[in-house]
A and B are shown apart, each in its own frame.
Chain A
Amino acid sequence: MRRVEDQRLSTGRGRFTADTVPRGALYASFVRSPHACADFTIERQDGAHSDFFSQRDLDAGHLRAIPFPTTPSDCIKPPRSPLARSTARHVGDAVAVALGCSEREAFRAASLVPVRWTRLPHVSDSILAADPSSPLVHPELGSNVAFTWEARDVAVARHFEECPVRLRRQLAHPRIVAMPLEPRTVWAAPTARGLQVATSTQVPHIVRDVMAAALGIPTSAIDVVAGDVGGGFGCKLDVYPEELIVAWLAKHLGRPVCWIARRTEDIVSTSLGRGQYGVLEAAVSGEGRIRALRYEGTQDVGAYMQLNAPVMPMLTALMISGCYRVEAVDAVVRGLYTHTTPCGAYRGAGRPEATFHIETLLDDLAAELDADPIELRRRNVIPADAFPYTTPLDITFDSGDYPGALAELESISGYASLREEQQRRRARGEFVGLGVSCFVEMTGLGPSRTLATGGWTQATVSLEADGSVLVSCGLGPSGQGSETMLTLTVAEVLQVPPESIRVRLGTTVGVPHGTGTFGSRGAAVAAPAVFGAAVRLVDRAASIASSLLETTSARLVDGNFETSDGRHIGWPEIGRAAHYGAGLPQDMPLGCSASFNYDPPGFTFPHGAYLAVVSIEPTDGQVVVERLFTVDDCGNEIDPAGVDAQVAGALWQGLGAVLMEGVAFDDAGRPTGTTLRRCHIPRSTLVIPWAAHRTHTPSPLNPLGTKGVGECGTIGVVPAVFNAVRDALRPCGAVDVGLPLRAHQIWKALRSTDVNR
């Protein structure tokens, strides 16, 4: 089936936020710090008409701080003003906002704002930031530690004493720019009732609620519409200062105000993903069984704590044992402030880091024990009959078949002959490697008891007067095809053609409750909610039909409601009758709609197994991914073509992360690569022969058996390729490589062993 969204997106009729800017809007442009840390002053000429605002003006207008309703209370976070008050804390930190009648004029006005900077010492590295001698990002806190989270288990120590094999690995995952093609954009316009806001976001309801709190107006006075969103990947799962400031300006000035991020600006002011450094230790039995794990993680929080900073490293710790049956896990993670762009979720949000650590450790263990990497994994994975399985950190995996995935992977890749081929090529002097990853991932965020914003999703399905169906749900999609997936879900239950269904997502208008799209919750949380609402709608429609047909038991058969003696009535007649009330009993309420609030009983756990074959060109260190085999299992699939698309996209973002992406900071604390040209992300010319397979292990947690899959590819491919490269380098001993696997790093690693020959 063709996607519902594509009709408009393929004709240039998408409604991205920059496409719907009201006429006469003023444009905003932000003045941003070019320094990692600097005090600043803004001169104001007396009597001069100023077309810019600083935090002093926002303070006078009662926009003093960004309300943080959702960060765990034990995080150490200073109040954050939307604009910096007198100290800028990262390159890109906004210190003033200028206005103009056009984007160009606003930009020019911003360049003329008289800011005087005094550079201060900075720290850009989270490990260094922990050192007491490092500059403090928030001096009033006395330390750069933003949070500490731990799950301690004293039993771990015993395993480390008893086990004959112990490994210790430290790996860093650099900061990643999410780089959605659509830069952040927001406009706000005053209305009679309050404010109309359009913003490129994954979480319109959270934006609404935070905005209402910040501006001191009721949530019912703000409408937030995301429209079509050009990619989010987690970085639009935040409420940003710019959104609040634009809303405030519209309210203060009484006119529409718009801000469209420039790409260079977006790169330094939008949440950066990853940025976790971890040390993983394993205590392993003589037979190669991992008994215990100890994980210590350090998360780079950046200069300010945004919505998700504590969540990612916590999820890393919770998933650190991966697919494996481990007896004890001890974990402590902490977040450190640095003078860099704040961190946020990015496709996988903590789980890629966990998988990266445990899967690279497995390969190291295999090398140490001279075991085959797949065989060693088979020895350690949770068996297929052990579900539901609760990990030592009290996470319950709903279902899975890890041995099945590994077997499928071996089969589709012809693993044994790949190894033989590797031997032959190695004998010829080639650097060829095979790398495996076997992963499980946590999706369907999540049970409300675990999420500060609540994890439920409410869906409403209503029958319109003309017989068409309107589905409303509080998701905030950005390309996943959620409209299509939910259309299919409803079409099947109501037995109506997909064309008669309209899905309303990404808006608070007509959808009062929602939390947005994140944590791969579309298929695993929203779809069951929509399914539940559709089922209730059938019941509701059946009772209307029964009333109209003067029977007690009309049933839905082949798209019509039928009596036992064959009389029938269709959805359009029911819709009309329900809307106008004709022929219905007095006491029956008008309308035909149903709602369902689904609070997932637990997270869902898709899994997979990937294999990468790589070779390394010794003359320049270039990594060539020659082949990729993937086995993914996300339970039941509502829209298989949509799953194909999500896996492909996630995979390519993962390839970017392992092969070429990563923000570095120079000596002055400035990010290197702040233009789209310099931030390398995969282009069409990255060609990798890839065979994608799937297995299906449904989830018992929801009636659809769905698990969500949007982030799996990103999680599975990074360790597979990383392991393959280290496998290629292992014969010459050059295994000390890190992310990203850029040619010059590999070449250097090769050379360092040449020197020793």
Chain B
Amino acid sequence: MTDAPRGVYALRARTLDEVAESLTEPGAMLLAGGQSLLPRLRSTPLSQGLLVDLSGVEALRQCTLADGWIRLGSTMTHSAIARSRTILENAPRLAAIAGLIGDEEVRNRGTLGGALREPHPRSDWAACLTALDTTLEVIRPGDGRSTVPLRDYLSNDDLRNEVHLIVEARLRPEALASFHYERQAGDAAGGPNCSIAVSTSYDGVHISKCNIVVTGAAPRTFIATASEEALCGTTATKEHVDAAAALLCDGVTLLDDSEGDPKYRAHLIGSRFTTAIRELLRTAP
């Protein structure tokens, strides 16, 4: 008995250009931390493909603060973000979020880019970075670099369904000053359960902008756009907040499983939203 012929190849990329060129190869799959890809390969073994190893591309691992932007390289591990001097000095709350992701082993190996790339229903980064108005820089096959707001990336299935490289995530450190993440650790150390990330622009009277992102409640992390619109421009009284809360899960099919039915999840999201807003208003600069 012999094994079937295999068409699985790999290359160790060293530069961004190498990665960009490999994107047009048939069967190309980017491999960074492997926390999503490796288990998938075990469940669905490959018979052909090209694994492009990103772990040797220094340019993707950098963390910088320049021109008022924090730039996080997509192959930074969650641990690296949690321990980065640059982050701890300029955006410590980001480091705190990184320290909650998954478990110790996942944090040491899993990457920011990998976490954003996976349409995982429970994603601390997807929720928090979207609420923080994060922009992604990506390279698509045959294209140069382009930027896409994470907000749009979350639901852009066309982009997500083709192979592409996330180069980095950029955000303004000031965004963290008016940001709150109301998080519940899920049972299975697999990520947050019915958690909500909120950021607002509040001048003491009016809310001029707000981002509301929910994770761990639906098949995808989602943006509560109806609630955002309802709260924007208001003075955030109890009535305004309740009205916005009522719209949180509008148009979204919530998960129905052993951890709860949609009604329960909606309740959790609503009460966490109220807590988050209260915290934000209380600590508004």
Direct contact of A and B (CB under 8 A): yes
List A residues at the B interface (Cβ < 8 Å). Answer: 26, 51, 99-102, 104-105, 107-109, 111, 264, 619-621, 660, 662, 664, 672-673, 677-678, 680, 683, 685, 742-744, 747-748
CB neighbours of A99 from chain B (8 A): 1
The 9 A-B residue pairs whose C-beta atoms are closest, nearest first, are A744-B260, A744-B264, A680-B187, A677-B188, A105-B3, A677-B190, A108-B45, A104-B45, A101-B3
Given contacts A108-B47, A680-B188, contact A51 B258 (CB under 8 A): no
* B contact residues, total (Cβ < 8 Å): 21
Contact of A101 among B2, B43, B258, B264 (CB under 8 A): B2
B260–A672 CB distance below 8 A: no
A102–B3 CB distance below 8 A: yes
CB neighbours of A111 from chain B (8 A): 45
Rounded to whole angstroms, the CA-CA distance of A620 and B195 in the bound complex is 13
CB neighbours of B189 from chain A (8 A): 683, 685
Over the window 178-192 of chain B, the binary record of Cβ atoms lying under 8 Å from chain A Cβ atoms (1 yes, 0 no) is 000000010111100
CB neighbours of A264 from chain B (8 A): 43
A748–B264 CB distance below 8 A: yes
B3–A620 CB distance below 8 A: no
Over the window 245-284 of chain B, the binary record of Cβ atoms lying under 8 Å from chain A Cβ atoms (1 yes, 0 no) is 0000000000001111100100110010000000000000
Contact of B264 among A51, A108, A685, A747 (CB under 8 A): A747
Minimum CB–CB distance from B261 to chain A (whole Å) comes to 7
B1–A51 CB distance below 8 A: yes
Rounded to whole angstroms, the CA-CA distance of A683 and B43 in the bound complex is 24
CB neighbours of A621 from chain B (8 A): 264
List B residues at the A interface (Cβ < 8 Å). Answer: 1-4, 43, 45, 47, 185, 187-190, 257-261, 264, 267-268, 271
CB neighbours of B190 from chain A (8 A): 677
Rounded to whole angstroms, the CA-CA distance of A265 and B230 in the bound complex is 48
Contacts beyond the supplied A621-B264, A662-B258: 7 A-B pairs with Cβ under 8 Å: A100-B3, A108-B4, A620-B267, A673-B258, A685-B185, A743-B259, A744-B259
B258–A672 CB distance below 8 A: yes
28 A-B interface contacts by CB (under 8 A): A26-B1, A51-B1, A100-B1, A100-B3, A101-B1, A101-B2, A101-B3, A104-B45, A107-B45, A620-B268, A662-B258, A672-B258, A673-B257, A673-B258, A677-B188, A678-B257, A678-B258, A680-B187, A683-B188, A683-B189, A742-B258, A743-B259, A743-B264, A744-B259, A744-B264, A747-B264, A747-B267, A748-B264
Minimum CB distance partner of B185 in chain A: A685
Rounded to whole angstroms, the CA-CA distance of A664 and B256 in the bound complex is 12
Rounded to whole angstroms, the CA-CA distance of A672 and B256 in the bound complex is 11
Minimum CB distance partner of B268 in chain A: A620
Minimum CB–CB distance from A155 to chain B (whole Å) comes to 43
A743–B3 CB distance below 8 A: no
Rounded to whole angstroms, the CA-CA distance of A678 and B43 in the bound complex is 16
Minimum CB distance partner of B47 in chain A: A108
Minimum CB–CB distance from A265 to chain B (whole Å) comes to 11
CB neighbours of A620 from chain B (8 A): 267-268, 271
Minimum CB–CB distance from B276 to chain A (whole Å) comes to 14
Minimum CB–CB distance from A674 to chain B (whole Å) comes to 12
CB neighbours of A662 from chain B (8 A): 258
Minimum CB distance partner of B39 in chain A: A675
Rounded to whole angstroms, the CA-CA distance of A619 and B190 in the bound complex is 23
